[in-house]
Amino acid sequence: QRALELLKKDAGNVSEVSWEVGFEDPSYFSRVFKSHYGCHPSEKDKLP
């Protein structure tokens, strides 16, 4: 949830946000985000 908030605020790119929320591997963060929200972090604008 914190990652989504940061992405929607444009608080950094996907790598920066992944590190901010505790992921060391941005690729893994992207996979986890997609499995949870159904889209890649860069497609956050598709979310309500």
pTM for the structure as a whole = 0.83
Residue 48 inside a domain? The answer is no
For residue 31, the model assigns a pLDDT of 97
Q: Look at the chain and report how many structural domains it folds into.
A: 1
- What mean pLDDT do residues 7-33 have? 93
Is residue 46 one of the residues assigned to a domain?
no
Determine the Cα–Cα distance for residues 13 and 35; give it in Å rounded to an integer.
19
Q: Are 35 and 46 in contact (CB under 8 A)?
A: no
Output the pLDDT for position 28.
Answer: 98
More confident position, 38 or 45: 38
Q: Is residue 20 part of a domain?
A: yes
Considering only residues 34 and 10, tell me which one the structure prediction assigns the higher pLDDT. Answer: 34
Mean pLDDT over 20-47 rounds to: 93
Mean pLDDT of the chain: 92
Domain that holds residue 29: 2-41
